[in-house]
Structure formats: structure tokens, C-alpha cells
């Protein structure tokens, strides 16, 4: 299985990295000559027949990515493009944990010089993103969040129904865009969260046009700790992947949804989202345009390097 796909990539160097347990195969393509097929990506990300990963990230010059040359012209500082693929080989717009792993990889490869407190811009299918190196990792400005079904969400605070595997009754949910689609469900307690079967994708109705990631969240009680930071726990089923230990844009969507539901009591800007792979920070920060940006922060590291060998 996947023997042909891996043989086609024989000799290609790679690294393996993760950000709070969300793991990736990372490949440098400075000349923009590597045309990865869906089957090749799936082969590399397979956990038994390949290297293994929730997704694959190719570092390539923005100007070399078909359809994104204008992004490079308009944003010359965003030299590197994060070409992200899901573990099944499908193309995805954005991955918040992947951005942090991508930045760490660029530094390790000597492709950028980024000291603590400094920032860089990168290109992506979800637009230009700004990454700042912090003492314990990276903070990524993912831009504004939004409501996918705004009219219904405004009227009812929910806009869709989600039925996890094995459940007889669907649960109300809110659809959030972080540049990629999310559907967030609130649960009343941790026992219910832990008992979820996320091996298969939950049923979502209506499903956003390009599919959706599904987050299940349990807000802490009280929601806000003494330090003023709101606390939630989350599990996620990522489209094209399955359940993962963490999802950065999903953590932002979860915080945005709970914040939206709590908007009548307080506008909370600082969040800590606990996922099976650790804890990430989410901040909602006013921007110059009068809206607000979503800042995701957390660690990232490389765990190994290698060269793809012929079978």
C-alpha cells in the first residue's frame, strides 16, 4: 500500500513536527518544483505505511504557488507560503497549529531569522498571516473570525445541528469561520466530553460547502478564573483527518463561540483552551479597522528528520 507514491518521492528530505500534539510532515521546497499529489500526501501522512501526521506542510515561495502570485506581489514581505494539506491529501485553507510548526521549521531550516519579539508574514490560502516569536513558542494573528450562517446565528445563537456517532439526538451548534470552517457544540460536563466517539465524523446539518471541523467544548465553572482568563476544554474531529490531539483554528472557533454565547454577560478577550495535546492561548484584539483579530499562541517543536527512501 502506497509503495508507488513513496518511491516517487525517494530522496526527498523531510522533518516531523508538532504543536500541542497536532503533528505534521514538513517539507522544504525553495524552488517550488515539488508537485505533491493527493495520493502522495496521504501516503506520507499514513501512520502505518508512511511517516505519519495529521497533515503535511510544504514551505514554498509564495510567488511560486499557482493562483497566489498576486498575494506575493501585494505582500512582498510574505516570502514563504504555507502549503497545507490534510492527512487524507485534501487541500485545506489554514491550520493554526500548523502555522506555529511551519514557523519553527522555517527557523530550523535557516530560511528565516526570527528572534523572540520579532514577527514575520507568511502566505496561505486563508490570506497573509503574521507570526510573532514569543518566549515559549509562537503567536499567530489569524485575523477576524466570523459567523458562517450569520442571519440564523444572530436570531437564534445557533445555526446547525450535530449528531456524534452513537447518539440518537442531535445537538445545537454554531458555525464559525477562521478562514476555514468550524462547527462548535457546547456540552454540559466533562464526562460527556470524554465519552464522545470521534473516530468517525459527526453528522452536521447543514454542512458548510467545503465540509467542516467539529469542536465539542465544555466551559469551566466559573468560566473566568482569578487571572481574568476564560477556561474551556475541547475535543475536535478535523475534516480529512479524524480526531486530533489539538486544532489551533478549532480552539479559536471554540473560544469565539463560547464568547458569542456569553456576550450578554461579559466581553471576554483572554482564553485558555485545553485540548488533549496541551493548552493554547486565544486572544481577541481590536484591530486598526475597527474589528478584532484572533491571536493563537502556543508551543511548537520538531521531533525528527529523515529522507524518504525507496521501498
Enumerate the active-site residues.
Answer: 95, 247
Cα 95 to Cα 142: distance, rounded to the nearest angstrom: 10
Query: Peptide bond preceding 222: is omega within 30 degrees of 0, i.e. cis?
Result: yes
- Map grid coordinates 487524507 to a residue: 88
Nearest 5°: CA angle at 193, between 201 and 150?
A: 60
Residue 45, all three cell numbers: 501522512
Is the CB of residue 299 less than 8 Å from the CB of residue 100?
yes
Residue 258, all three cell numbers: 463560547
Is the CB of residue 234 less than 8 Å from the CB of residue 273?
yes
Beta-sheet strands, E only, within 32-101: 55-61, 80-86
Residue 252, all three cell numbers: 479559536
Amino acid at each position: 500500500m502506497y509503495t508507488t507514491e513513496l518511491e516517487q518521492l525517494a530522496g526527498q528530505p523531510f522533518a516531523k513536527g508538532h504543536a500541542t500534539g497536532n503533528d505534521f510532515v514538513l517539507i522544504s521546497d525553495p524552488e517550488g518544483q515539488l508537485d505533491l499529489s493527493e495520493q502522495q500526501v496521504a501516503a506520507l501522512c499514513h501512520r502505518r505505511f508512511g511517516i505519519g501526521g495529521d497533515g503535511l506542510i510544504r514551505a514554498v515561495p509564495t510567488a511560486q504557488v499557482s493562483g497566489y502570485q498576486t498575494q506575493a506581489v501585494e505582500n512582498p514581505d510574505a516570502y514563504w507560503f504555507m502549503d497545507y494539506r490534510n492527512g487524507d491529501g485534501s487541500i485545506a485553507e489554514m491550520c493554526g497549529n500548523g502555522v506555529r510548526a511551519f514557523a519553527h521549521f522555517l527557523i530550523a531550516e535557516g530560511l528565516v531569522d526570527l528572534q523572540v519579539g520579532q514577527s514575520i508574514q507568511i502566505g496561505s490560502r486563508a490570506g497573509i498571516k503574521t507570526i510573532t516569536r514569543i518566549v515559549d513558542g509562537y503567536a499567530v494573528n489569524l485575523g477576524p473570525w466570523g459567523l458562517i450562517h450569520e442571519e440564523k446565528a444572530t436570531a437564534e445563537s445557533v445555526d446547525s445541528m450535530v449528531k456524534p456517532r452513537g447518539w440518537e439526538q442531535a445537538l445545537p451548534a454554531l458555525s464559525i469561520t477562521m478562514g476555514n470552517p468550524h462547527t462548535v457544540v457546547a456540552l454540559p460536563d466533562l464526562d460527556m466530553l470524554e465519552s464522545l466517539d470521534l473516530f468517525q465524523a459527526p453528522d452536521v446539518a447543514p454542512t458548510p460547502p467545503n465540509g467542516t471541523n467539529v469542536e465539542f467544548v465544555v466551559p469551566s465553572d466559573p468560566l473566568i478564573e482569578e487571572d481574568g482568563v476564560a477556561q474551556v476544554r475541547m475535543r475536535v474531529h478535523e475534516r480529512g483527518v479524524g480526531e486530533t490531539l489539538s486544532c489551533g483554528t478549532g480552539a479559536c472557533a471554540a473560544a469565539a463561540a463560547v464568547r458569542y454565547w456569553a456576550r450578554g454577560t461579559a466581553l471576554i478577550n483572554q482564553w485558555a483552551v485545553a485540548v488533549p495535546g496541551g493548552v493554547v492561548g486565544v486572544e481577541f484584539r481590536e484591530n486598526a479597522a475597527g474589528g478584532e483579530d484572533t491571536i493563537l499562541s502556543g508551543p511548537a517543536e520538531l521531533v525528527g528528520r529523515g529522507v524518504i527512501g525507496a521501498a
